[in-house]
Amino acid sequence: MAVSMYKISVPIFVQFLGALGAVLDKAAAHCEAKKIEPSALINMRLYPDMFPLLRQVRAATDHAVNATARLAGVEPPGFANTETSFAELKERVAKAIDFVKGFSPAQIDGSEDKAIKITFPSGATREYTGQSLLLNTSLPNFYFHCTTAYDILRHCGVELGKRDFMGTPVAP
């Protein structure tokens, strides 16, 4: 039996973006309780050559939004990338969740063999099938950036556990 492309994309993105939003709430509360300037955490990175928390959140939302849009055959919306606070990052996550939830199974199912061509800012292009885009590129990158955002905050002392990372499963 074939696996539904919708079921392995939209509910996953919604679950983990919801968890990311909740983790950002805990980070904001941590800053307030410990009298830490929020920008210290927002700009924190695990290593000098890695993206800071801000870019990890942006990348996670971008991968979810772009993958869903491409599978459905619509132009992905652009975000301004001007967030500088936890509230603005939460708003970005909420917008990404709303966008992803806006698709029906009929719009995404059957996209396994769909040809998807992506042109990168450098001008380079790459061709995928819907399945290879989702399973080999979008989901791994999405998980990486969600995990790294979690790890940055955990490293900074925000009290988080596995349940915070996992969030609540979303019914497909």
Domains of the chain: 10-166 (1.20.120.450)
Write down the pLDDT at residue 1.
Answer: 58
pLDDT tier at 2, thresholds 50, 70, 90: confident
Task: Report pLDDT digits (tens) over 127-158.
Answer: 999 999 999 999 999 999 999 999 999 999 99
Mean pLDDT of the chain: 96
Residue 172 has pLDDT above 90, yes or no: no
> pTM here?
0.96
> Is residue 104 scored above 90 in pLDDT?
yes
Task: State residue 5's pLDDT score.
Answer: 98
Pair 77, 65: CB distance under 8 Å: yes
Distance CA 13, CA 26 (A): 20
- For residues 153 and 27, the answer to whether their CB atoms sit within 8 Å is yes
At residue 125, the 3 state secondary structure works out as: strand
Give burial (CB, 10 Å; 0-12/13-18/19+) of 40: exposed
